[in-house]
Amino acid sequence: MEKRHTVKDHILSVILGILSIAWVYPIFMILFNSLKKETSISTGTAFELPTGESFTGLANYVNALTSKGFLSAFWYSLVITISSVVLILICCSMCAWFITRVDAWYSKGLYYLFVFSMVVPFQMLMFTLSATADRLHLSSPYTICVIYLGFGAGLAVFMFCGFMKSIPITIEEAAMIDGCNPIQTFFLVVLPILKPTLISVGILETMWLWNDYLLPYLVLDRTKGYMTIPILIQYFRGSFGKVEMGPMMASIMMNIIPIIIVYLLCQKHIIKGVAAGAVKG
């Protein structure tokens, strides 16, 4: 019985290994092509490793950095991601604290509204949202975080509520007896306890925000040069359908490398935070 179980584990490991290679393979292909000459990518050798004739070094990366305004797009992506994540973590954790600690019909209704928002497709409201953002002057990288707060609140509140239910209320009562007001209780007592879920939600939201294309494309005022990296990548498509594949591949690599590093460094916190937020209430 034990031997059969071991064989089953080996077979499962082989299958998962093959699936992992299939998922990672496109990333390596983008990396290899980002080091090739333009002619080598478009002449049927895109799936081959760089050779002496096709290898171009870092020329595509230099072109990507200098030709389309990559650095400004990187800055706008960074501003949008950081401001939106901070706003989501603070506002949604406070909202989840209110929902779990106030036993009333309206708090339960508010919770179900947040859960329901996770199943509403973005395509249903993207045109109305674009018009509303323009009317409220939210079409810049420094104000779009307000819109992202609404879209990211569903998952964040759901996870925070799940973890919040596992925190004994006696800890907060003791803090209030010691003289803390509700704001002090939340920031000095509750927020530090939420660290696993804060990290988990922060990483998940960061991966979504950094790679998001459609919302910034609809909302940001591109006449003022506001572009994130995913939007910038499409500008390597020139007139008559010509695509600068080399710089485009280099831009894609420079876009995904930071988020891969963040994920690899913090993946254990994601699992811990999801498990902590899976408490049945």
- Residue 29's pLDDT is 86
Q: Which backbone phi and psi does 34 adopt, to 5 degrees?
A: -70, -15
Are 233 and 69 contacting, i.e. CB atoms less than 8 angstroms apart?
no
Closest CA to 227 of 116, 70, 81: 70
Q: What is the pLDDT of residue 44?
A: 62
Q: Which among 184, 213, 232, 264 is positioned nearest to 71, based on CA atoms? A: 232
Amino acid 79: pLDDT: 95
Instruction: Return the exposure string of 50-83: e unless at least 16 CB atoms fall within 10 Å of the residue's CB, then b.
Output: beeebebeebbbebbbeebebeebbebbebbbeb
In angstroms, the CA 17 to CA 4 distance is 20
| Predicted confidence (pLDDT) per residue in 171-189, tens digit | 888 888 888 888 888 888 8
Q: How confident is the model at residue 67 (pLDDT cuts 50, 70, 90)?
A: confident
* % residues pLDDT > 90 (the chain): 18
3-state secondary structure of 95: helix
Topology of domain 61-276, CATH? MetI-like fold (1.10.3720)
57-61, 184-188, 201-205, 262-266: range with lowest mean pLDDT = 262-266
pLDDT per residue over 231-257, tens digit each? Answer: 888 888 765 567 778 888 888 898 888
146 neighbors 265 (Cβ within 8 angstroms): no
- Greater confidence (50 vs 154) lies with 154
d(CA 160, CA 234): 36
CB 152 within 8 A of CB 88: yes
272 band by pLDDT with thresholds 50, 70 and 90: low
Strand partners for 221? none
Inter-residue contact 234 to 255 (CB < 8 Å): no
* Model confidence at 153: pLDDT above 60: yes
pLDDT tens, 179-228?
888 888 888 888 888 888 888 888 889 989 999 998 999 898 877 888 99
pLDDT class of 280 with cuts at 50, 70, 90: very low
In the chain, CATH 1.10.3720.10 covers 61-276
The pLDDT score that the predictor gives to residue 41 is 74
Mean pLDDT over residues 50-60, rounded? 78
**Torsion sign (Cα): 277, 82, 137, 208:** negative
Helix axes 105-117 and 70-101, enclosed angle (nearest 10):
150
Q: Which backbone phi and psi does 237 adopt, to 5 degrees?
A: -90, 115
For the chain, what is the radius of gyration of the CA atoms?
A: 23
Question: Lowest-pLDDT range, 50-54, 77-81, 275-279?
Answer: 275-279
